[in-house]
Amino acid sequence: MRVKQQQFLEVLDRDEAERRWREVISVVPGVSESVFLEHALGRVLAEDVRAPVDVPGFDRSNMDGFAIQAPDTFGASEEEPVRLRLNSETIPTGIAPQEEVTPGTATQIATGGMLPRGADAVVPVEQTDIDDADSQVLIVRQARTPGAAVSYAGTDMGRGETILFAGTRLTSRETGLLAAVGCSEVALVRRPRVAILSTGDEIVQPGAAMRPGLVYDSNGRILADAVREVGGDPWFLGSFGDDLDLLRPALQKALAGADLVLLSGGTSKGEGDLNAAAVGELDPGVVVHGVALKPGKPICLAASAQRPVVILPGFPTSAIFTFHEFVAPVIRSMSGQGETDRPVVQARLAQKVVSDRGRLEYLLVGLVHPGGDGSTQNLAAYPMGKGSGSVTSFSRADGFVRIARNRELVDDGETVDVTLMGREIPVSDLVVIGSHCAGLDVIASALAAEGLKVKLLAVGSQGGLGAAARGECDLAPIHLLDPESGEYNAPFLPDGLRLLRGYGRMQGVVTREDDDRSLEALLADDALRMVNRNRGAGTRILIDALLGDRRPPGYGYEPRSHYAVAAAIVQGRADWGVTIETVARETNLRFRPLRAERYDFAVPEDRWERPAVRRLRALLEAGSPVRATLATRGFPEN
C-alpha cells in the first residue's frame, strides 16, 4: 500500500506560532576514567575520538517524494511535465530498498529513507501527480539535478575521521556528536524536570548493533544535555517505534512525572507520523504544527492542561535549533532564569548561499579572523552546509545567520549578522581551510596534544586557495594536479602564498574485493556504475582526466569525501570509484594504483612565522614522530 503524503495544514511565522503556544501553557517558575556518555557533560576528553561508522551510513532522502534518475527529469516543467513508470516498491525509513531505479522509473520514498541503487536524486511529492488514467505513471513537473534532496553516505562523518580531540570540554554539541557515531562510553579526565522521548522505527540507541537503514539516536542525548545546559533536569524515557499502543502509555508516564515533555521525530505530516496523533488526543493538544523556519518547519507545539508538550523534528540540526528557539526560553522561565540574548557580530559571507523563499532560514557558519589576530573586525563567515541531518555542522559551527523569508540569494562578500553559539568567538591558534584528509587529522591531533587549538573547515582545494589568498586562514591543504605539466600544487599558487611540503598519498580506482578486473575492463563495461567526487575537489580533476569525454553511469553521483566513495561501493550503490589507498585498506576494497599525488599546504607569506605555523613546520620535519605516524597510515613524505 502506498503511503499517503500530506502537506502542512497551516504554516505560521515564528512569532505567531510562539504567541499561540504561550497562550495555552504555563511558564511559572517551579520550586582519566571511562564514563558513560550520559554522565559526560561538562567533562574533559582524555583521548581523541574517531568515528567508527560513516554518518549517515547510507544515501538518504531529505524529503518525502520519489527516488529518480535526475536526467529523466531534465526539461520537466508545469507546462511540459515528464512521465515515469512507478516501481512496485515503497521505501519507508529503516528498511533497505530491494529494487533498482532504472532509466524512466521512480520509487516512492519517505523522508530519511535509504536511496535505492540507480537513483541519484529525489523529486518532492508536491511537484508530482499520479496519472488519472494509469496509477502506475508518475507525472513530474520539476527538473532535478543529481544529488537534489539527497544526503550522501559519509558526507557528515567518515569512518576513521577524528571527530573530537583530547582536551575538549564537552557541551551538548560534542555529546550529540559522540552519540551519532554510537559511542556509549568515553574516556574523560578525572572529576528543575523535562521528559524526553525519541521516536521512529529507524532509531537505535548508541552501543546497539547497526544495519543499513538505521540511525543512532543522537537526538535523545543532545536534547537531554541541552536541557541541563539551560537549567532543566532531563529525564530520558528511551526510544519508541512507530506504534501508538507503545507511544500513548509512554506519553502519559511523561506527563505524570514531568513539567515539560519533548518528543523528537515524527513531525512531518503523513500516515506514518504518529507523534502528532498521540499528542492530538491531549487537551488542548496541538496548537501549532508547522512553522516557516529552515531548519525546523515540522515542529509541533502543544499542551496538556497548561503543561508544555513539543514534538521536535527528527533531524539533529532541526531539532536543536527549534529547541533553542521555542523550548529553551520556557525552561529558563520555569527555572527562574531571565532571557539570555546571544551576542551578534558582523561578518563577510565567504560563499554564496541560495535560500528557500518564504521560510526564515538559520544558516550555520564557521567564523575566521583575517589577519589571525582574534579581532571581531572583518570577520569571514563560512557556511557549514551539511543540511538539517548533520551533527558535525552544529557541533563545529561558531554561529548562525538568519536569512529573511523574502531572500532567495545571499551573495558572497555580503555583510551578514552572525548570532554566536557561545558568549564569544572561539580563538584558534591555527586556522586550516581547504581539502580534508585523514593524514591532516594526525597533524591536528599532534598540535592539540601540545595545547594548540586548531579550526578545520573543509571547503575543497580551490576553496582553500581562495581563503589563503584573502588571508582568512593560516594554511590551505591542497592537492591540485596541473594536467599540462603533470605537477601538483605549485602551479596553482598565486603571489603572496608559499608552499609547505606535506606528504604523498596514492590515489587509485577501487571496487569490491571480489572484483579483480583491470582498470581498462572497468572503464569499458557500460553496465557498471561509478561514483564521482564533488566539483572543486582535487580528486575530481584526476577523475575527469582519466575519463576524458566519457560519462559512465553514475558520473553525476558526487559525494564530498573519500569515505563516502568507499561507502557507496561497499553498500552496492556503485561499482567503482577513485579514492586514496588508506581509505581502500580500511574499508577492505580492492585497490588499483592510479597516481601518486601530493597533499601540501599553501601558507600566506605573512603567516609563515606565526607560532602555530612554525610549530607545524617543526612537526613535519624529516624523521619526526609525526612523519613516522603519517607513514604508517599510508602518507609517506616523498
Over range 301-325, report the average pLDDT: 92
- Say yes or no to pLDDT of 419 above 50: yes
Per-residue CA distances from 448 to 25, 178, 430, 442 (Å): 47, 19, 10, 10
Where do runs of H (alpha helix) occur along 240-368? Answer: 244-257, 275-279, 316-322, 328-334
- Say yes or no to pLDDT of 267 above 60: no
Label residue 177 left, alpha or beta by phi (over 0 means left) and psi (-120 to 50 means alpha): alpha
Joined together, the cell numbers standing for residue 48 give 581523541
Label residue 595 left, alpha or beta by phi (over 0 means left) and psi (-120 to 50 means alpha): beta
Q: How many helices (H) and strands (E) does the chain have?
A: 16, 35
- Say yes or no to pLDDT of 3 above 50: no
Confidence of residue 271 (pLDDT cuts 50, 70, 90): very low
Predicted TM-score (pTM) of this structure = 0.74
Q: Which residues pair with 300 in a beta bridge?
A: 289, 311
> What local confidence, expressed as pLDDT, does residue 387 receive?
56
- Say yes or no to pLDDT of 297 above 90: no
Nearest-angstrom CA–CA distance, 68 and 144: 9
Joined together, the cell numbers standing for residue 16 give 505567531
* Range among 292-306, 350-364, 598-612 with highest mean pLDDT value: 598-612
> What local confidence, expressed as pLDDT, does residue 6 receive?
44
What is the per-residue DSSP string for 315-331?
SHHHHHHHIIIIIHHHH
Element holding 625 (H helix, E strand): helix 625-632
- Find all residues with CB under 8 Å of 22, minimum gap 6, and list them: none
Confidence of residue 338 (pLDDT cuts 50, 70, 90): low
Over range 484-496, report the average pLDDT: 93
Q: Rounded mean pLDDT of the chain?
A: 90
Q: Which residues pair with 137 in a beta bridge?
A: 85
- Say yes or no to pLDDT of 8 above 60: no
60 vs 372, residue with greater confidence? 60
Pairing of strands 137-140, 128-130: antiparallel
Other Cβ atoms within 10 Å of 10 Cβ, number? 9
Task: Give yes or no for a contact between 374 and 427, defined as CB atoms under 8 angstroms apart.
Answer: yes
Q: Which residues pair with 506 in a beta bridge?
A: 596
What does the pLDDT look like over 220-253, one tens digit per residue?
Answer: 999 999 999 887 889 999 999 888 899 999 999 9
- Say yes or no to pLDDT of 638 above 80: no
- Chain position carrying cell 519507508: 92
Q: Which residues pair with 298 in a beta bridge?
A: none
Confidence of residue 2 (pLDDT cuts 50, 70, 90): very low
- Say yes or no to pLDDT of 389 above 60: no
> What local confidence, expressed as pLDDT, does residue 606 receive?
94
Task: Give yes or no for a contact between 38 and 224, defined as CB atoms under 8 angstroms apart.
Answer: yes
Element holding 469 (H helix, E strand): helix 461-469
Per-residue CA distances from 58 to 115, 117, 512 (Å): 8, 11, 17
What does the pLDDT look like over 78-134, one tens digit per residue?
Answer: 999 999 999 999 999 999 999 999 999 999 999 999 999 999 999 999 999 999 999
Pairing of strands 399-403, 415-420: antiparallel
> What local confidence, expressed as pLDDT, does residue 407 receive?
87
Task: Measure the CA angle with vertex 497, ends 493 and 501; round to 5°.
Answer: 80
Q: Which residues pair with 458 in a beta bridge?
A: 434
- Say yes or no to pLDDT of 446 above 90: yes
Over range 547-558, report the average pLDDT: 93
Confidence of residue 16 (pLDDT cuts 50, 70, 90): very high
Confidence of residue 567 (pLDDT cuts 50, 70, 90): very high
Pairing of strands 576-580, 33-36: unpaired
Joined together, the cell numbers standing for residue 538 give 582535487
HEC string of 510-569 equals EEECCCCCCHHHHHHCCCCCEECCCCCCHHHHHHHHHHCCCCCCCCCCCCCCHHHHHHHH
Joined together, the cell numbers standing for residue 207 give 552501543
- Find all residues with CB under 8 Å of 426, minimum gap 6, and list them: 398, 453, 455
Where do runs of H (alpha helix) occur along 300-419? Answer: 316-322, 328-334, 392-396
> What local confidence, expressed as pLDDT, does residue 272 receive?
45
Evaluated on CA atoms 510, 513, 515, 519, the torsion sign reads positive
Over range 495-508, report the average pLDDT: 96
- Find all residues with CB under 8 Å of 306, minimum gap 6, and list them: 24, 25, 26
- Say yes or no to pLDDT of 610 above 60: yes
What does the pLDDT look like over 449-460, one tens digit per residue?
Answer: 999 999 999 888
- Say yes or no to pLDDT of 273 above 80: no
324 vs 190, residue with greater confidence? 324
Over range 255-265, report the average pLDDT: 94
> What local confidence, expressed as pLDDT, does residue 367 receive?
92
> What local confidence, expressed as pLDDT, does residue 202 receive?
87
> What local confidence, expressed as pLDDT, does residue 373 receive?
58
Where do runs of H (alpha helix) occur along 265-314? Answer: 275-279
Q: Which of 472, 469, 473 is nearest to 431 (CA)?
A: 473
Nearest-angstrom CA–CA distance, 452 and 62: 37
Nearest-angstrom CA–CA distance, 63 and 291: 17
All structural domains of the chain: 14-31+192-334 (3.40.980.10), 32-57+154-191 (3.90.105.10), 60-151 (2.170.190.11), 355-420 (2.40.340.10), 474-632 (3.40.190.290)
Q: What's the half-sphere exposure (Cβ side, CA atoms, 13 Å) at 459?
A: 27
> What local confidence, expressed as pLDDT, does residue 211 receive?
84
Joined together, the cell numbers standing for residue 239 give 526510544
Joined together, the cell numbers standing for residue 346 give 558582523
Q: Which of 309, 576, 629, 277 is nearest to 449 (CA)?
A: 629
Q: Of the given ranges (1-15, 309-323, 326-340), which has the lowest mean pLDDT?
A: 1-15
Over range 261-279, report the average pLDDT: 74
Confidence of residue 30 (pLDDT cuts 50, 70, 90): confident
438-449 helix and 625-632 helix, angle to the nearest 10 degrees? 150
Confidence of residue 408 (pLDDT cuts 50, 70, 90): confident
> What local confidence, expressed as pLDDT, does residue 582 receive?
93
Task: Give yes or no for a contact between 198 and 220, defined as CB atoms under 8 angstroms apart.
Answer: yes
